[in-house]
Chains A and B, each alone.
Chain A
Amino acid sequence: DTEVTQTPKHLVMGMTNKKSLKCEQHMGHRAMYWYKQKAKKPPELMFVYSYEKLSINESVPSRFSPECPNSSLLNLHLHALQPEDSALYLCASSQVMEGSNQPQHFGDGTRLSIL
């Protein structure tokens, strides 16, 4: 079992639908991340939140909208997605320690299919 919980595990949606992915951690981590992973490829960073503020947006299309309502929760709102957006979406969290890189803890992901 992972300490980062992602829901739902699977999601199938049409291109006109609006849905949200959810991520929760209770490790007291103050940095949270969204990654996109295509089959047989490495994860690619999408967004980073630190202390509930967006610190990195890796030029992600606006049809993906992140939200961090509190220090334990991270959402990814989806609207008008394209078939090429089908992928595994991974959430991660880490401690924030000044001047020190920390390991990231990953959830098991949401497997998203766009029809």
Chain B
Amino acid sequence: SQQGEEDPQALSIQEGENATMNCSYKTSINNLQWYRQNSGRGLVHLILIRSNEREKHSGRLRVTLDTSKKSSSLLITASRAADTASYFCATDDLILTGGGNKLTFGTGTQLKVEL
């Protein structure tokens, strides 16, 4: 079953505007990751935020995490047409026997940035 629900399902903005996507999850997490997926392509990792962190930045991206509300948000500032993609949050659990980590993806937000 899916861990996360994302809101909104779809978002259309003009180039230069900011885009905010929200993710809610159901159970306690170790970490949360955000990924981008361009149409017909694989997923690209954006940011990993640990459960003891509240905010993290990477370039034009800002991610917040509120473990008390079981929610996270991804803000893209000064959006560009190239930011058009689907964005997924994923809860991230270590696989204790053997290694690696298990990602459970949210439902995703389809972002369209228009010129």
Contacts and interface: CB of A to CB of B under 8 A. Distances in A.
B and A form one assembly: yes
A2 B33 CA distance: 19
B30 interface: yes
Contact of A108 (B30, B41, B101, B103): B41
A69 interface: no
Contacts of B31: 101
B56 to A, nearest CB: 13
Interface residues of B, number: 29
B37 to A, nearest CB: 8
A33 B98 CA distance: 13
A32 to B, nearest CB: 8
A97 to B, nearest CB: 8
Interface string A49-63: 111010110000000
Contacts of A102: 48, 101
A55 B42 contact: no
B41 A56 contact: no
Contact of B98 (A45, A53, A104, A107): A53
B97 A42 contact: no
28 contacts: A2-B42, A4-B42, A30-B99, A31-B95, A31-B99, A42-B2, A42-B105, A42-B107, A43-B103, A45-B103, A45-B104, A48-B95, A48-B100, A50-B98, A50-B100, A53-B98, A96-B100, A101-B92, A101-B101, A102-B48, A103-B33, A103-B45, A104-B33, A104-B45, A106-B42, A106-B44, A108-B41, A109-B42
Interface of B: 2, 30-31, 33, 35, 40-45, 48, 50, 88, 92, 94-95, 97-108
